[in-house]
Amino acid sequence: MEAIFENYELFIKEHADEINTPMGAVKMINDEGMFRAYMDSLTEGLDSDVRTTVMNVLSREREMILQEAANVGASSVTSGWTVMSFPILVDIYSEPIIAELCNVYPVDKPMISIPRVRIKAQTKSYDGSTVTEEYIPTAISLIRANVMTVNAVPNAATNVFTATSLSPENMKMNRRYTLLTQIAMTETDAGSTTHEHIIDVNFRPDARAQISRDFTFMDSTGVAVTGKINAHIDYEKGDVTFSVIFGGGDPGASFVCDYAVMTLRFTPVATISYCGLWH
């Protein structure tokens, strides 16, 4: 369930401009392409046997909400804000276990039939040393695993499972929260004096699990330097490989990348959820 909540939060942030109006909400539900993109985003990172079930639940809820929204009248504003509750419903009910217990059914009157659900979540740290329990969802907290940081060296394979002491049999990398956030390098100027640089970046692997991005910074003399990073992430094995090529800077200066900082989240291979219903 943690993966669904994380994916939902990221989708809402990335598409805030598209769905912050009634018409935008209606379009997200009506348009096949937008809805497919929403389903793909929400279910990214789920096990294949679970993902199909969740997508079927989403499609069924879409049909029910659209039918229910049609009963509230022709006003685009009324219909739009009725449908706007759909992502919240999916966020709460799309977990397969919960979907068996509660769902949204169309009615012949202008109201949304939303059962109340309280979900008690238990979150453990990756090493199992700490446990947090709380009811979700809330307006101020999210249930998610903690962020891990790994320093990857250039021109070699850095295994994130080995670096974090996690087991690939029990954990898998969360694709949406795999980020390259810093690049550390050493500059040697014309006088053989060294200068350390740490450049903040925010690079996410593309659909091919690759990063090919440029970044710029100023050397010790104030001259612009361009760096080009090429990286690949093997999500199955956990290997991170990359290289950096530098251009520009003060004549006579040289630059060497020392390491890149990766921030990562992991998802348990198998999880169990419990919930309770109140009327």
Alpha carbon distances (Å) from 46 to 36, 43, 156, 179 = 16, 6, 29, 19
pLDDT of res. 9: 73
pLDDT tens-digit readout, 99-111 = 444 444 444 444 4
What are the contacts of 30-34 at 24+ separation with CB within 8 A?
30/66
Type of residue found at 128: G
The answer to whether the CB of 278 falls within 8 A of the CB of 114 is no
In whole angstroms, what is the distance from residue 44 CA to residue 51 CA? 8
pLDDT tens per residue, range 9-65: 777 777 777 766 666 767 777 788 888 888 888 788 777 777 887 788 778 777 766
Q: What is the pTM of this model?
A: 0.52
At residue 73, the pLDDT reads 52
C-alpha 66/C-alpha 85 separation (Å) is 11
Assign 154 to helix, strand or coil.
Answer: coil
Beta pairing partners, 246? 227
**Which residue ranges in the chain fall short of pLDDT 70?**
1-2, 5, 19-23, 25, 64-119, 135-145, 270-279
- Helix, strand and coil content of the chain, in percent to the nearest 5, comes to 30, 30, 35
Number of CB atoms found within 10 A of residue 4's CB = 20
Amino acid 233: pLDDT: 95
Cα–chain-centroid distance for residue 177?
Answer: 5
What pLDDT is stored for residue 48 in this prediction?
77
Q: For residue 242, give the nearest of 177, 155, 127 by alpha carbon.
A: 155
Q: What is the CA radius of gyration of the chain?
A: 23
Q: What is the DSSP string of 192-236?
A: S-EEEEEEEEEE---TTSEEEEEEEEE-TTS-EEEEEEEEEEETT
**Cβ 149 vs Cβ 217: under 8 Å:** no
243: helix, strand or coil: strand
Work out the end-to-end distance of the chain between its first and last CA atoms, rounded to an integer number of angstroms.
23
Residue 63 CA neighbour count, 13 Å, CB half: 5
Residue 269: per-residue pLDDT:
75
